[in-house]
Each structure stands twice: as structure tokens, then as C-alpha cells.
Structure 1
Amino acid sequence: MELCNHLLAIHVVLFLFLFPHVATKELTTSKTDLSALLLFKSQISSDPFGVLSSWNESLHYCQWQGVLCGRRHPDRVTALVLESKQLAGSISPSIANLTFLQKVSLSDNHFHGNIPIEIGYLSRLRTLNLSINFLEGTIPSTLGNSSRLQIIQLSSNNLRGTIPPNLVQCKRLQSHKNHTFHHRKP
């Protein structure tokens, strides 16, 4: 039995020596997603329902309320869904570090401040719902970088200005009233 344990240890060391990028990359991306979520939480000034109380290191972040992780990449956050939770605060730009994020749904809360321009750098983003909040400023033109974007819902905020013209580059969007966009079905 002791020999088996030593052989296993040697195999693990050899694997880490021969393929350090595999172990390091998984650890790094895991820590990046965890850090991004904790930074997001740090910008929340009010959580009356205690929704984010599960957001601590006693649980894996994929088990936190409102956080969904992928099937193919089980340690990568693919959705942040915290609708109608009466959360107040600003949306942290760290959300852009969740590079596997496909859906952000923070509607019907009390978020204020600007929409972080960094959200536009999420290359996998398909749904962005920030409606019914107190967001202000303009719609970031960086959202035009998200070629997979299918749905943008920004209505019922204090946004000003016009819809950025480069959103036309998002071929999967269709314009509707109140700055709401939906996927055009083939």
C-alpha cells in the first residue's frame, strides 16, 4: 500500500512537472472567477434578503445563490442571475474577469452608477438584462464588441444618450421599444 502511495505521488509530481500549464491554468482561472465574484459582492451596499450570505469560502462559488457554472468547464461561471433581490450598489467592473459569462441578469434591483464598459469585453455574453434599476450614464459602446449578444434589456433606468451605433455589429440583435433588444429567430 505504501508503495502505491509513493508511485501515485511520483505520478502527480511528474504530471505537474511535464504539464505545469494545465494545473496552473485551472487554478488561476478558478481563483480569477472567485476573486471577480468577491469583488462584485464587495460593491453591494444592501442585501436585505441575505442573498449573498452564501457567497463565502465555505461553499464552492458554483454553489452560491445566483451563480451558475458550465457543464464542460465546471469551475467557470457562465451565468450571474440575481433578479428581484433588492440588491443595492454598483456593478463592479470585475465582472469582466468572468470570461466564460454568457448571461448577466440583474434586473429589478437597486443598482446605481454607470454600466461598466468592461462588460462589452465578455466575448461569450449572450444575454444582458440590467432593466429596472437606477443605472445612469450612457450605454457603453463596448457592447458592440460582443458579437454573440442576443438580448440586451436596459429599460427602466436613468440612462441618457443614444444607442451606440456599433451595436449594429451584433448581428443577432433585433431592436424593440425601450432600448430592449431580442434575438432574431431564423
Structure 2
Amino acid sequence: MASPLIILSFFILSFSAPSYSSNQTDITSLLALKQAIHFDPNGALNTWNRTTNFCRWNGITCGRKHPDRVVAIDFDSQGMMGSLSPHIGNLSFLRSINLRENSFDGPIPQEIGLLRRLQFLRFDNNSFSGTIPENISMCKNLVYLNLIDNKLSGNVPPQLGFLYNLQSLYLSANTFSGRIPRSIGNLTSLKHLSLAACGLNGEIPESLARLSNLTFLQLGGNNLTGTIPPGLFNISTIYHFGVDSNNLHGSIPSTIGRTLPNLKLLGLAQNQFSGSIPISLANASLLEELALSLNSFTGLMPRWFGKLLRLTYLYVGDTLIEDDISSISSLTNCTNLQILDLSEIALSGAIPDSIIGNLSVHLEFLALARTQVHGKIPPGIGNLDGLTYLNLRENYLEGPIPLSIGRLFNLQFLDMTGNELTSDIPSTFGN
């Protein structure tokens, strides 16, 4: 029979043994990650040494069920420089890795596909290069994938379509080539899809219309062609719909304001859309940003703009709209309006003082360049004391420059060239 002293000695040894020695795989992998980082300005890795339990290392979280296994790495905005070691694939219990806003470069290791428990991956705002590893599709539990603003190239791998649990896919601001994979339409749990400014071309796949849970869609700043698949306009959950700065054409469905009732942002600017601006948008009462500029929309200035009481940004410039400048009178109802761009559309007539002076007190940006307006600049413009940008360039304005412009103390940009103004520059400009 063992003596009490032997039993006591066993318990002392059991509780005093360092816990980190029970998992050499995670320790070795973490130290390999550290070795691949050559600049750590905030000293985030100072605690990464063998004298401290690795579960207490800065940026490391270990599990509750498996207290000696790493489940999360978080080095958000630490200014680190270096590469990501392939040893990352040995952290088999890892569920979350966040390296946002650092300067990691080189490829994303293929070994990332070994992390079968991974749910959250955030590498945005770094300098990762090369292609997206195809075997990332083996991370079947992935819910969030963010690779925005890196130097990734090649095609967007169709294998991403196997990530059936994915809810957020952010790939914007990279240098991909090729088309949007049709397989993205298989991600029926997807809520956020961001593929803006990343070098994609070809048509928008009709399969995207299967993303019935989508709330955020951003495809702007590419070289997409063709028309928008009609089914995308029937995903009633969408609140952000951005396809600006492409080569898309066709008309916008007349029912858009009813089929997309949750719209907060509609970005269609800088394409080749034609036809009239759908009157049903008057039903989109949540709309805050509406960008229609640089298209071939025709017809009159919509009076129903005034029903969009939450509107903050309105871009209608450089379209084929024709009307009298008094048609903007309904915009005085938009008391949250901050940006109003009506440049290069045919809005003839004199600018009514009663309208211009009653625009939103929050207005910061007003562009009426090349609109064919004439008459005097209304003194009421001085009431817009929040203006930082005022462009009245190349119209038929005449008479003196109103002294009230001198009250625009926040003004940073003023252009009135190409008019028929008379008199001296007012002394109030000294303000």
C-alpha cells in the first residue's frame, strides 16, 4: 500500500506541471508564426516565450472544453510586418483568426485548408499576394471570410461555392481577373457579398438571384457587362445594392421600390442604364443614398424625390434628364440631405431664391455645373452655412455675386467660372 507521502507527492507534481507542455504542437506552431513576423512595433509578441503558458500569450485564446488548445488568434491593427507561416495549419482547433490592418505579405498558405473548425477569418487591409487557396473550401464551418484590400490575383476560385455555411464574403479591392463564379449562387446562407474594385469582368451570374438572404451586395468598380439579372431585384432583404462604375446597361425594373422595400443605398452610377427613373422608388422610404449619375436616364426631374425623407446623398448629374430648375422644389422636404449633385443635366430657368435658400441646413455639397440655369445667383444661398463645396461652373448666371456667399464660413471649394457675372469680388469673401 502506498504511503501518504507518496500520494501527496503525486498530487503536487500533477498540479505543478506546466500546462503548456501538454500540447507541444500548438506551442511549436505559434513560435513558427512569431518567427515569420519581422516587425512588431507594438510589442504584441513580447509575451510569446516558453516561460509563460501559451494560453496567456497576448492575442491568444484557448478553448473551454480543450483548455490546452488554441481556438482564436487576434492581432487586429498591430502594424505587424511579415508573412503567415504554413504552420498555421497545425492549429487544428482554431476557430477564429483576425490579422486585420497589418502588413502581412506573401501568399496565404495552402495549409489554411486544414483548419476544419475555422469559422472566422479576417485578413483585410494587408498585403497578401498570390491566389486565394482553393482548398480553403475545406473549411466547411467558415461563416465569415474577409480578404478586402490586399494584393491577391488570379481567378476567384469556384471552390468557394462549397462553403455552404458562409454568411459574409468580402473580396473587394484586390487585383483578380476573370468572372464572378456561378458557384457563388450556391451560398444560400450568404448575407454580405462584397466584390467591388477587384478587376472582375463578364456578366453578373444569374445564379446570384438564389441568394435569398442577401442584405449587402457590392459589385461596383469592376468591368462587368450585360444587364443585371432580374432575380436580384426580387431579393427583398437587400438594403445595400451597389453596381456603380461598371459597363452595365438596360433599364431598371419599374417595380424596384416595391420589391426592394429595405433599400438604404442604391448605387447605379457610371454605367449605361437607360429609360426613366422608376417612380416606385418613392416607396423606398428607408433610402439614404441614391447614385444615378453618369447614365442615360431620361425624362423629367422626379418630384417624388421629396418623399425620400431620409435621403442624405443624391447624385443625378450627367444624365439625360431635362426640366426646369424649379423642379427641385420637392428636395426642400429632404431635411437630412448632405450631398446634391445635379451637374450636367438640362435644368433651365432662373434659380428660385425660395428653393435654394430652403434646402437642408445639413447640405455640404451642391453641384449645379453646366445645367443651363440663368439669372442671378440667389442671395438665399448664404443660408446654406454648412456648405463646403459649391460648383456653379459654366452656366448663364449674370449680375453681381451675392454678398451672402461670404457667410459660408465652411466653404472649401467655390467655382463660378464660365458665367456672365458682373461687379467686383465681394469684400465678404474675406470671411
TM-score of the aligned structures, taking structure 1 as reference length: 0.83
> Secondary structure, in 3 states, of the residue corresponding to 1:168?
helix
CA distance in 2, matches of 1:10, 1:176: 52
- Consecutive unaligned residues of structure 2, counting only runs of 5 or more, are 12-19, 174-183, 192-212, 214-431
Partner residue of 2:136 out of 138, 143, 162: 143
CA distance in 2, matches of 1:80, 1:10: 35
Report whether the alignment pairs 1:79 with 2:94: no
The change in CA–CA distance for 1:59 and 1:10 in structure 2 (over 3 A counts) is closer
Report whether the alignment pairs 1:153 with 2:146: yes
Aligned counterparts, 1:2-151, within 5 A:
3-7=3-7, 30-151=23-144
Alpha-carbon distance, 1:172 to partner? 1.0
Q: Report if aligned partners of 1:96, 1:122 keep a CA contact under 8 Å in 2.
A: yes
CA distance in 2, matches of 1:170, 1:5: 57
> Secondary structure, in 3 states, of the residue corresponding to 2:121?
strand
Normalized per residue, the structure richer in helix is 1
Pick the structure with greater CA Rg.
2
2:92 counterpart letter in structure 1: T
Q: CA RMSD in A?
A: 2.7
1:99 counterpart letter in structure 2: S
Q: Report if aligned partners of 1:163, 1:179 keep a CA contact under 8 Å in 2.
A: no
The change in CA–CA distance for 1:128 and 1:4 in structure 2 (over 3 A counts) is same
Q: Name the structure 2 match of 1:19.
A: none
1:90 counterpart letter in structure 2: S
> Secondary structure, in 3 states, of the residue corresponding to 1:79?
strand
Q: Report if aligned partners of 1:115, 1:136 keep a CA contact under 8 Å in 2.
A: yes
The change in CA–CA distance for 1:56 and 1:6 in structure 2 (over 3 A counts) is same
Alpha-carbon distance, 1:162 to partner? 2.0
Q: Report if aligned partners of 2:147, 2:170 keep a CA contact under 8 Å in 1.
A: no
CA distance in 1, matches of 2:57, 2:21: 19
Q: Report if aligned partners of 1:69, 1:79 keep a CA contact under 8 Å in 2.
A: yes
CA distance in 2, matches of 1:107, 1:114: 16
Alpha-carbon distance, 1:124 to partner? 0.2
How many residues were matched structurally?
A: 171
